[in-house]
Amino acid sequence: MYIERSTGMSEGKDGHRLPATHGVVRWDNGGSLKDIEREVRERDLATLAFADSEFFGDHEIAMAMCHDMRAHEMNVLWSAQLATVPAGELLKGMRLAGCQHVTMLLDPDEAVDALELVRHYGFDARICNVDGTSYASDKISYTVVEREVIAARLPGLHTVQFDLAVAYYNARRYSEVMLPLGKAMTLRFPKNELCLNLLACLSAAKHYPDQVAGLLDQARYGCPHPVVFRNRKLLKSWLESGGDLKGIRLELESASGSSVMVQAIQF
């Protein structure tokens, strides 16, 4: 295996545009997880895409890889492409190792079983026919109650705690956001700018514009999610139009852990 890099752009502390990389992991019957781990650490990658289904074709090899990712504390979010319906044990292992999104190419009779499994562990998923055509309903969404159940099922996983915090915010249950968000941050959710963005959203809901500005300013450094820039523009427009003085509510956009994979290479 080896990493093939995709380069985007981010904003540095001096305002200049800097390259930001997202790793695409390829299968070639060579290399090792140690090679991937080294590149992740050296390049400070936060997202990976396992672009070949061969990684997960053998249950034992895939389970061992997921175990090693956790043992080596590879704190990255990643996506995977699957050509078969994996056992529930493997999906749980993938989720605990940081897998956030799966693309599955399956026959119709397999798709129903696969949907139930991926929902059980809270994956963001796209399930397609073997020729790549989408089924009528190939994208997954979750209710707040479902997010609560998944967070209780996987209490030590930062991504499910973060997604629960986002679900509470989107449901305007603002008083409940901080508990799962605090857990996600304590568990080292790797996309800190999304935590800062969600704190900014919460501050906006409570009408603390100075806090919003400070949090979004912190969130813009490194390789931020596009939502950070969108919210900075919303704040600027709101201030310029006198929204603060007019008492107009500032509503910012949250972003879930699943949305992180939008920045990574798609298959």
The 3-class secondary structure across 26-44, one letter per residue, is ECCCCCCHHHHHHHHHHHC
Query: Residue 266 — pLDDT band, cuts 50, 70, 90?
Result: very low
- For the segment 76-82, the average pLDDT, to the nearest whole number, is 92
Q: What is the pLDDT of residues 97-137, one digit of tens each?
A: 999 999 999 998 888 889 899 999 999 988 888 888 887 65
Query: Residue 17 — pLDDT band, cuts 50, 70, 90?
Result: very low
CATH assignment, 2-139: 3.80.30
Residue type, 91: L
Coil, strand or helix at 67: helix
Domain boundaries, the chain: 2-139, 144-257
- Residue 166 backbone dihedrals phi, psi, to 5 degrees: -65, -40
* Per-residue pLDDT at 43: 81
Environment class of 117 (CB within 10 Å of its CB; exposed 0-12, middle 13-18, buried 19+): buried
Query: Residue 232 — pLDDT band, cuts 50, 70, 90?
Result: very high
Asked if the domains at 2-139 and 144-257 fall in one CATH topology, the answer is no
**pLDDT at residue 228 greater than cutoff 90:** yes
* Per-residue pLDDT at 265: 40
Query: Residue 19 — pLDDT band, cuts 50, 70, 90?
Result: very low
Between the ranges 4-13, 113-122, 164-173, where is the mean pLDDT highest? 164-173
Residue with structure tokens 């996309």? 191
* Per-residue pLDDT at 246: 86
CB 168 within 8 A of CB 144: yes
Q: What is the pLDDT of residues 28-63, one digit of tens each?
A: 776 688 888 888 888 878 889 998 888 898 899 899
* Per-residue pLDDT at 45: 82
- For the segment 183-206, the average pLDDT, to the nearest whole number, is 95
Which residue, 208, 157, 202, 210, is CA-closest to 184?
157
- Residue 96 backbone dihedrals phi, psi, to 5 degrees: -65, -25
For 56, the token pair is 């997960």
**pLDDT at residue 138 greater than cutoff 60:** no
**pLDDT at residue 9 greater than cutoff 60:** no
* Per-residue pLDDT at 177: 97
Between CA 192 and CA 258 the distance in angstroms is 14
Task: Report CA-CA distances (Å) from 178 to 162, 169, 172, 192, 195.
Answer: 10, 10, 13, 15, 10
Percent of the chain with pLDDT over 90: 57
How far apart, in Å, do the first and last CA atoms of the chain sit?
16
Please state, rounded to an integer, the average pLDDT across all residues of the chain: 87
Query: Residue 95 — pLDDT band, cuts 50, 70, 90?
Result: very high
Please give the residue that has the higher pLDDT: either 2 or 90.
Answer: 90
Residue with structure tokens 């390049």? 43
Between the ranges 26-40, 197-211, 216-230, 248-262, where is the mean pLDDT highest? 197-211
Beta strands in 15-130, from DSSP E residues, in sequence order: 17-26, 47-50, 77-82, 99-105, 124-128
Between CA 115 and CA 265 the distance in angstroms is 23
What is the pTM assigned to this prediction? 0.88
The CATH label, of 1.20.120, 1.10.287, 3.40.50, 1.25.40, for the domain at 144-257 is 1.25.40
DSSP state of 233: H
DSSP state of 83: S
Provide the angle, in degrees to the nearest 10, between the axes of the packed helices 108-120 and 88-96: 50
